[in-house]
Amino acid sequence: MFRKLAVIGKSVWYWLMLVLLGLAFESVALFYQHVLDELPCVMCIHVRMLMLALILVSLAAVFVRSFQWLNATAHLLTVLVGALLLERSYQLLGTERGFTFGDCGMDLGLPSWLALDSWFPAVFQVQTTCGYTPELLFGISMAEALIVFSPLFILLCLAMTLAAFMSIGKNNR
């Protein structure tokens, strides 16, 4: 099974699927913001930044996927993105449901050299404080959808990472 996953993980189509997944998440968020007038909070913008990170890692992987160590590193970075996405999803759901209380102001906390909110305000500017996320379908909120998606994404990425590292070990013997 891991041999098949390793082959899939080196495929340009796998990495392009992750690019499309990130773009789909960004598109839904921007649709809700600009069409349905649901203003984003700081944690929502953090999720958008994580989706941007997924897109960038996946685009880079398209070009380095034939180099085993770089491909495995790209897979490992997707696990990191997934873990951070799970943490943000938990905080977002906790804020929505009232079981966590964190610092959820209007500041993204980015350094001045990475002023995404100034460079791309239509995408990365915080416009409201945290409290609730909009409903997607069937009464499911964005936070609820993210808390279900995140661990599934991590499991996929972990399996792909393990397969990538196992294929390196087999090829070095």
Give the integer Cα–Cα distance in Å for 1 and 166: 11
* Mean pLDDT value of segment 49-71: 94
> Domain range holding 8?
2-171
Q: Could you tell me the pLDDT band of residue 147, with boundaries at 50, 70 and 90?
A: very high
Q: Which residues contact 133 (CB under 8 A, 6 or more apart)?
A: 44, 92, 96, 141, 142, 143
Q: What is the pLDDT of residue 25?
A: 94
Residue-wise pLDDT for 64-116, tens only, equals: 988 989 999 999 999 999 999 999 999 988 888 877 766 677 777 888 899 88
Q: Could you tell me the pLDDT band of residue 172, with boundaries at 50, 70 and 90?
A: low
Q: Which of 77, 91, 93, 83 is nearest to 153 (CA)?
A: 83
Other Cβ atoms closer than 10 A to 158: 16
Longest distance between any two alpha carbons in the chain, whole Å: 57
Q: What percent of the chain has pLDDT over 90?
A: 54
> What is the full DSSP assignment across 16-46?
HHHHHHHHHHHHHHHHHHHTS-----HHHHH
Number of domains comprising the chain: 1
Mean pLDDT of the chain: 89
Give the integer Cα–Cα distance in Å for 144 and 39: 18
Q: What percent of the chain has pLDDT over 70?
A: 95
pLDDT of 47 over the 90 cut = yes
Which H helix or E strand runs over 101? none
Residues β-bridged to residue 135: 141
CATH number of the CATH domain containing 26:
1.20.1550.10
Which H helix or E strand runs over 51? helix 42-64
Q: What is the pLDDT of residue 170?
A: 66
